Amino acid sequence: MAEKAQQEILDAVYKVIQERKQNASEKSYVASLYAKGLDKILGKVGEEATEVAIAGKGGKVDEVVSEVADLWFHTLVLLSYYDLPPERIYAELERRFGTSGLEEKASRTS
């Protein structure tokens, strides 16, 4: 998959999440997360991050891929909660690109 198409899938998933947020349905998992509130969404992000770490430790590549996809999905739900489009994250990553991770982190703490 081309780089542009990879970015487009995140944007497309985000758009669907936004639509489910605006037009809640009993059959929508996303709508059920919003109905339960921010703490539920944050809990899912934390749960998925833990599952990514466990999958990484287990070393099964397919599990890592599956769990990271779950984490990214729930992170998009969180972004949607705040009406933050993925472009904001792309811009932040682009801003940091080419900067030492140690330098970038130090710049945030000073």
Angle (CA) 78 99 73, round 5°:
20
56-80 tens-digit pLDDT? 999 999 999 999 999 999 999 999 9
* Span 5-11, average pLDDT: 83
Residue 76 lies in a domain: yes
Residue 97 lies in a domain: yes
Residue 32 lies in a domain: yes
* Span 4-17, average pLDDT: 87
- The sign of the torsion formed by the CA atoms of 70, 75, 81, 85 equals negative
- Please give the share of the chain, as a percent, with pLDDT higher than 90: 78
- Whether 25 has a pLDDT exceeding 70, the answer reads yes
Residue 2 lies in a domain: no
- Candidates 60, 97, 84, 76; CA nearest to 17 is 76
- Whether 104 has a pLDDT exceeding 80, the answer reads no
27-39 tens-digit pLDDT? 999 999 999 999 9
- Residue, of 4 and 76, whose pLDDT is higher: 76
- What total of structural domains would you count in the chain? 1
Structural domain boundaries, residue 23: 9-109
| Residue 39: predicted pLDDT | 98
Residue 70 lies in a domain: yes
- Write the CATH number for 18: 1.10.287.1080
Residue 58 lies in a domain: yes
| Residue 107: predicted pLDDT | 75
